[in-house]
């Protein structure tokens, strides 16, 4: 029977994520994304905060921005089709199946695919960033599993999160990042800035240049995001933090049930399971992001009246200040 209201839309489900069951595949996917990200890093002019080589979540998977190599290329991990595809501006394309393999095998296949479309793999260090143990890609020969169903669930979770992040981003008039995925730390993030310079970052991120960290945190910010978990926090979770962290930030009241401040991480976390289990997951997540950002802005003395606005709506331009 046809839907009586063809305009009604059932919100997509937030899939279950099993950290323990998917850990090995997630770690492999993270390293594969680092290889792809380093290709973009090698060819793209440096943008503020390292935004030139971040990745985007698409309806089919995760892709690069346009890479200025071979006249223009784009790399996508098609997670629905279980394939890596690289396309060039002259119409050439190459790729291979995403399946169980070693990191070294993925590295070799990727470099061959880049060469097949007339590109160059670039000069970025062929070693992972931001991981406690950095085995060069070509030397990481252990077989890695590939759980297609688990990867598709993670991809759907990233899509659901990105939709909420887009709404959150739309209610800020100041400088804000895109909603993008950092391949070094493997997190989807959106960041707001006060407009003021920040104290020099101390650096010390594993296998990441202090110069890169200091440039990334050169200005006061609030950042919120999602990551699928790691050894420090073995569960998928949303996070929020401020840099520099203002006095009182770890003691925010009124956060959604399940949110907590992690001293070891220096940030708030909200378990993905708590969001998924809520009556309105998107509303709960947006409340978490809003409340932590308001606290960071108030405690940090941001000019909120100048920086904030109502969430954006389709087809509704904002009235300029001169109209009121």
- Give the 3-state secondary structure percentages of the chain, helix then strand then coil, rounded to 5: 35, 20, 45
- Average pLDDT over the chain reads 95
Is the per-residue pLDDT at 6 higher than 60?
no
The pLDDT score that the predictor gives to residue 1 is: 37
Residue 241 φ/ψ, nearest 5 degrees: -150, 165
7, HSE (Cβ side, Cα atoms, 13 Å): 0
pLDDT score, position 71: 96
For residues 79 and 98, the answer to whether their CB atoms sit within 8 Å is yes
306: CB partners within 8 A, 6+ apart: 173, 174
DSSP-derived pairing of the beta strands 56-57 and 143-144: unpaired
Q: In what order do the strands lie in the sheet with 73-78?
A: 56-57, 61-63, 73-78, 83-88, 93-97
What pTM, to 2 d.p., does this model score?
0.94
In tens, the pLDDT along 89-104 reads 999 999 999 999 999 9
Q: What is the pLDDT of residue 322?
A: 58
> In the predicted model, what is the mean pLDDT of residues 295-313?
97
Q: Is the bond preceding residue 19 a cis peptide, omega within 30 degrees? A: no
What pLDDT score does 318 carry? Answer: 87
Residue 278 clears pLDDT 70, i.e. is over it: yes
In 3-state terms, what secondary structure has residue 239?
strand
More confidently predicted of 5 and 30: 30
Positive or negative torsion for Cα 142, 143, 149, 152: positive
Q: What is the pLDDT of residue 253?
A: 96
Span 168-216, pLDDT tens digits: 999 999 999 999 999 999 999 999 999 999 999 999 999 999 999 999 9
pLDDT at 243 (0 to 100): 98
Q: At what angle do helices 148-170 and 281-299 cross, to 10 degrees?
A: 50
Listing DSSP states for 140-197 in one string gives --SEE---HHHHHHHHHHHHHHHHHHHHHHHTB-S-B--SEEETTTTEEEEEEEEEEE
Angle (CA) 49 206 240, round 5°: 55
Q: Any idea where the domains of the chain sit in the sequence? A: 20-146, 149-307
Q: Classify 202 as helix, strand or coil.
A: coil
CA 208 vs CA 44, 121, 132, 211, 212: distances in Å: 18, 20, 11, 8, 7
Q: What percent of the chain is predicted at pLDDT more than 70? A: 95
Tens digits of per-residue pLDDT, 64-123? 999 999 999 999 999 999 999 999 999 999 999 999 999 999 999 999 999 999 999 999
Give the CA distances from residue 324 to residues 144, 174, 314, 318, 320, in Å, rounded to whole numbers and listed in that order: 58, 18, 20, 10, 7
Residue 181's pLDDT is 98
Q: Determine the average pLDDT of the residues in 116-145.
A: 96
């Amino acid at each position: 029977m046809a839907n009586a209201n063809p305009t009604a839309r059932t919100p997509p489900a937030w899939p279950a994520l099993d950290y323990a069951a998917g850990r090995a595949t997630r770690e492999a996917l993270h390293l594969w994304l680092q290889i792809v990200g380093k290709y973009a890093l090698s060819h793209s002019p440096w943008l503020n905060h390292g935004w030139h080589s971040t990745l985007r979540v698409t309806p089919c998977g995760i892709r690069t921005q346009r890479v200025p190599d071979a006249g223009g290329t784009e790399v996508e991990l098609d997670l629905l089709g279980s394939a890596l595809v690289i396309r060039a501006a002259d119409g050439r394309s190459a790729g291979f199946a995403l399946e169980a393999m070693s990191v070294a095998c993925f590295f070799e296949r990727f470099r061959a695919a880049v060469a097949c479309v007339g590109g160059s793999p670039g000069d970025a260090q062929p070693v992972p960033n931001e991981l406690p143990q950095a085995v060069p890609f070509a030397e990481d020969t252990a077989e890695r599993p590939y759980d297609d169903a688990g990867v598709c669930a993670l991809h759907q979770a990233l899509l659901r999160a990105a939709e909420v992040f887009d709404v959150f981003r739309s209610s800020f008039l100041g400088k804000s990042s895109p909603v993008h995925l950092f391949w070094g730390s493997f997190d989807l993030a959106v960041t707001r800035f006060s407009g003021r310079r920040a104290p020099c970052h101390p650096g010390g991120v594993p296998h990441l240049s202090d110069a890169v960290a200091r440039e990334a945190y050169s200005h006061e910010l609030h950042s919120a995001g999602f990551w699928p978990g790691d050894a420090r926090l073995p569960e998928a979770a949303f996070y929020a933090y401020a840099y520099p962290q203002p006095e009182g930030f770890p003691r925010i009241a009124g956060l959604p049930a399940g949110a907590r401040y992690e001293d070891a991480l220096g940030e708030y976390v909200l378990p993905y399971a708590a969001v998924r289990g809520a009556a309105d997951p998107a509303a709960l997540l947006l409340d978490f992001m809003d409340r932590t950002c308001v606290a960071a802005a108030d405690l940090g003395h941001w000019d909120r009246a100048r920086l904030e606005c109502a969430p954006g709506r389709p087809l509704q331009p904002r009235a300029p200040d001169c109209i009121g």
